[in-house]
Amino acid sequence: VFMSGCQPDDDDVGQVVEWDTTPFVLHFPQHIVAPQLPLDNPLTITKVELGRMLFHEPKLSGDGSMSCSTCHLQSAAFTDTAKFSVGIRGLEGHRNAMSVFNMAWNDNGFFWDGRAELLRHQSLLPIQDSVEMDETLAGAAAKLSADIVYQHAFIRAFGDDEVTAERMALAMEQFMLTITSFDSKYDRYLSGMESLTDSELRGLELFNTEYNEFFPEFSGADCQHCHGGPNFSNNQYMNNGLDIESEMTDLGRMAVTENPAHLGQFKVTSLRNIALTAPYMHDGRFNTLEEVIDHYNEGLHNSSTLDPALAATMSTGLMLTAQDKTDLINFLHTLTDEQLAQETDYSSPF
């Protein structure tokens, strides 16, 4: 039984609550490879439900005004429509919020710079960040411990009502692992259920065709180099030519690893639902897909850590015509999963 309210009713107070270890089965299409789920945190229905409650719980913030879902809007594919998210004291962060879907297929760290190794680690950092939710883990646990709804939810999920940061993290990890997005027009096309228009098909061809400076008529947008595979991301950290070295105010991956070879590298995001997730890049500098494509077509900045495949295009640019750009954008729109915003399993239970 999933408790869908913040306040208990009369029946809730006196009911017998039992530990429930019923497995949660993650569903995904046949053309998607099964993810490697954490063996030490097997999905159960009750832990996923608890994680959903916590994801939408404003008590996890210092002043009770915001939750994880405040900056990860379901309507925007679980990202923020603001360039920089605003925390509980009105302070802006310094990076654009990343989308939270298909996290089960991410096995190479979390955040733009990969500073969290596992999703459970990522789930706790915004709570403690003074610019974001600004609450201590002990404070958050104490507030949950005093709520009978959470007492019962933790019993169902873990066998007793002890609230700890570790348990909170494991539950939130489970919920976020279940947020999947594989019901786009492109997925239905792969399943033979829908057709793409001529423009969308040509955009798909451009997306997958490599750059060729010697034969411009056969040259493509070469997007699959970084955004290939079923989740449209290579899951790596790369420098995509946003700035020259002297103008890099955000070190990216290097701030975590202290390796100069990682200067200006950021996580390659999934292009699924890309039409819903503006603004773009780690600093939200681009407002439209047209601006993003123009950047790769003619706006790259060279640096010592620029990805070599991108550097190879700088002599001529991608040579995309106006029609090429239109077709490419039309294809990118086929990656939108319109059901994601409507899925009640992901929405607030309160």
Instruction: Give me the active site residues, please.
Output: 132
Phi, psi of 266 (to 5 degrees): -135, 160
Phi, psi of 294 (to 5 degrees): -60, -35
Q: Which residue is associated with the tokens 């915003």?
A: 341
Contact 157, 171 (CB under 8 A): yes
C-alpha count within 13 angstroms, C-beta hemisphere, residue 286 = 17
Secondary structure class of 147 (helix, strand, coil): coil
Task: Copy the structure tokens of residue 176.
Answer: 């976020």
Residue 313 vs residues 28, 37, 78, 219, 286: alpha-carbon distances, Å: 36, 37, 33, 11, 21
DSSP notation for 240-306: -SSS-GGG----BTHHHH--GGGTTBEE----TTGGGS-SBSTT--B-SHHHHHHHHHH-----TTB
Asked if the peptide bond before residue 279 counts as cis, ω within 30 degrees of 0, the response is yes
Beta-carbon contacts of residue 136 (< 8 Å; ≥ 6 apart): 128
Residue 298: how many other CB atoms lie within 10 Å: 14
